[in-house]
Amino acid sequence: MAKSARRYSARLPARGLRIVTDETVARLHLHRLKESLRKTAIDHTVITVAPGEESKSFATLTRVVDEIIAARIERNDVVLALGGGVVGDLAGFCGGSRAPRRAARAGADDASGAGRFLGRGKTGINSPRART
């Protein structure tokens, strides 16, 4: 992840990155990404959620979207999921349901750290009536 920011900077049309991650991944990997981002002009905000399936809920979705809006997200900014599973579903859903309509995913084990753009696949949150 040490070279992540340069790769994001080259590939993204935006100067803003809203990073969604869980507490576990943040503790283990976020510092490297933030260190790399400090060396670029990419404005970034980190939104951390609790690990586990319980975070894939309307309550967490509301909080994450509120934090994304509070970070003054712009049309070309990107929502980045740092991690997979629940974080990827949540960030993808937020990125697709709120401007900027762009989302990317970088797994904690993503050697390139460049992420891959989400355009296919399942993203969403759970409901008391159905699970995604």
Please report, for the domain that includes residue 68, its CATH number.
3.40.50.1970
Domain assignment of residue 70, yes or no? yes
Q: Are 29 and 1 in contact (CB under 8 A)?
A: yes
Summarised one tens digit per residue, pLDDT across range 7-54 is: 656 666 557 889 999 999 999 999 998 888 888 878 899 999 999 999
For residue 82, the enclosing domain spans 4-115
Torsions phi, psi for 20 (to 5 deg): -110, 130
Number of domains in the chain: 1
21 — alpha (psi -120 to 50), left (phi > 0) or beta?
A: beta
For residue 111, tell me if it sits in a domain.
yes
pLDDT band at 87 (very low <50, low <70, confident <90, very high): very high
How confident is the model over 59-85, as pLDDT tens digits? 998 899 889 888 887 777 888 899 988
